[in-house]
Amino acid sequence: MLKFMRRHATGWMIKIMFSLIIVVFVLWGVGSSREREKIVAEVGPYKVGVSEYSEAYRKLLERYRILYGDRFDENVLKSLKLKETAMEQIVDKYLFLLKAKELGVGVSDREFAEHVESIAAFRRNGRFDQKVYEEILKREGIDPKRFEKNERQSLTVGKLMMILQDTGFSVNDEQMEKAYMSERGLVKLGYLVFQPADFEKDVAVSEKEVSEAYEKEKSLHRTENLYHLRYITIDGKGKVKDDQAYMELLKSHDIQAYAKANGLDVTDLGVMKESEILKRLERFKPAEWLKGMNKGDVSLPIRVEDKSFIFQVVGAEEGKPLDRQEAFRVIRARMVSERAKVMAKTKAESVVADKSIRFVKDTGFIPRSSTSIPSIGQIPQEHTGLFALSAAKRVYDKPVEIGGKYYVFGFEDEKAPDRSQFEREKQAYRQYYLAKARADFLASLREEMKKETKVKVDLESL
């Protein structure tokens, strides 16, 4: 394989694919150099400064803001784990640079010049303009040497990626058909359900435990906060702009007067408990802006489709301390629920370990490509492997938590797709199968390189 890679390392056909590959590495950025900056990662001889990391993170953030649009919020941001993703991409870049050096893969001065001269931003009247090139870098505060170094690295890794993906992968029709039948077939899963509520009767919570918890949490046990809210609706096609309205409301603090003066609709929601607001106004995501708001405060514009909404707190009343007896009841119920959940999970785990499981319910036949199960719900992404269960592996190796319940899944039966279906989809599946094989190979190579190279990452300092 390495001989093949070395043989193709200078192939001119690879240049044709540069533009497709370089996009992958745009996230690395080209930031200006800083002396003595903080080092947040080391990959072999390469050191990663905080500026390089920050640039990669910023570009990822911008990309996902555009991708998610109005749906981009704190919950989405948390689920994307951009901090870790940005660092992984940087580490991967330097791992592949090391591999490129090992295999003798590089970019000639001619290739590099052709690449820079092809960048549209540096061209005038259809030709590369050195003066424009220098002016743009200067305006953006980018050091030319740093820019050229990063671009050359991107080109080098791009060339390596093309070589790695062209290492003579061949498709074995027999293996491909077997994979198709496995992935596109139907499977019937048996399952057992363990509900925490069924274990609550067996939970013991002493008065002493409740009392001790109360003393630690006393300040937290209060009635709900009350809010009196009003909001205005701003049509995205109207003359009033939401950001302008927000700035003016920060000054006037009178949403009714502002609405009247600008011909806007104002809605008075009256006084509501915080939990009621979170439920009734869910589409406006109040959990992100309501907490901590006081009388007179206004929310940032909340954009839903082609309209914007701005809320104002007309009045707010903080919750009062709960009666001691009521607080004890709440604490006891919580402790019982938590312990019952642990018991349900423990029981489910013991059943998984028992090789003689007898399932009392089944899913019926469902596609192996499923991501959810009717009457059960969405399967967590990390557990979609349960759809691959077969006669060779009959029981999924851990309980799956769905909707607060614990499920144990096992294989019951399967149906292979018709061969005629395979013949109809054979060519399309061949492309998918080959792409997946390449992706698996690159992932395996990446892990192998991580084992061979000293990698040190300091995410906690970021």
Give the model's pLDDT for residue 69: 82
Give the model's pLDDT for residue 20: 38
Distance CA 142, CA 178 (A): 53
Q: Order across the sheet with 361-367: list the strands.
A: 361-367, 186-194, 405-415, 400-402
| Of 66-70, 141-145, 288-292, the least confident | 66-70
Distance CA 231, CA 304 (A): 14
Most confidently modeled range among 2-11, 318-327, 338-347, 427-436: 338-347
Distance CA 158, CA 165 (A): 11
Length in residues, the chain: 462
Give CA separation, 385 vs 204, 284, 374, 411, in Å: 37, 35, 17, 12
Fold observed for domain 2-169+436-461: Triger factor/SurA peptide-binding fold (1.10.4030)
Rg (CA), the chain: 30
Distance CA 151, CA 31 (A): 12
Give the model's pLDDT for residue 361: 95
- The percent of residues above 70 in pLDDT, for the chain, comes to 91
**Residue-wise pLDDT tens digits, 29-48:** 444 444 468 899 999 999 99
Give the model's pLDDT for residue 10: 40
Q: Report the 10 Å Cβ neighbour count for 420.
A: 8
Cβ 236 vs Cβ 307: under 8 Å:
yes
Task: Read off the pTM.
Answer: 0.51
**Domain segments of the chain: what residues?**
2-169+436-461, 186-203+325-415, 223-317
**Residue-wise pLDDT tens digits, 3-26:** 434 443 444 333 334 333 333 443
Q: What is the mean pLDDT of residues 134-153?
A: 89
| Of 98-107, 262-271, 350-359, the least confident | 350-359
| SS3 state at 7 | helix
Our measurement of the distance from residue 451's CA atom to the centroid of its chain's CA atoms, rounded to an integer in Å, reads 26
**Among candidate residues 265, 266, 277, 264, the one with its CA nearest the CA of residue 228:** 277
Distance CA 413, CA 364 (A): 9
Give the model's pLDDT for residue 1: 41
Cβ 84 vs Cβ 459: under 8 Å:
yes
**Helices and strands counted in the chain (H then E):** 16, 15
Fold observed for domain 223-317: Chitinase A; domain 3 (3.10.50)
For the chain, first and last CA: distance in Å?
Answer: 39
Q: What is the mean pLDDT of residues 438-447?
A: 85
> What are the start-end ranges of the H helices in 253-412?
255-261, 274-280, 324-353
**Residue-wise pLDDT tens digits, 156-198:** 998 998 888 766 566 778 888 888 887 888 999 999 999 999 9
**Residue-wise pLDDT tens digits, 447-462:** 999 999 999 999 887 7
**Among candidate residues 30, 387, 18, the one with its CA nearest the CA of residue 183:** 387
Q: What is the mean pLDDT of residues 141-163?
A: 89
Residue 97, pLDDT above cutoff 80: yes
Q: Which amino acid is at 133?
A: Y
Give the model's pLDDT for residue 271: 95
**Residue-wise pLDDT tens digits, 198-248:** 999 999 999 999 999 998 888 888 888 999 999 999 988 888 888 889 999
Residue 79 burial (CB < 10 Å; 0-12/13-18/19+)?
A: exposed
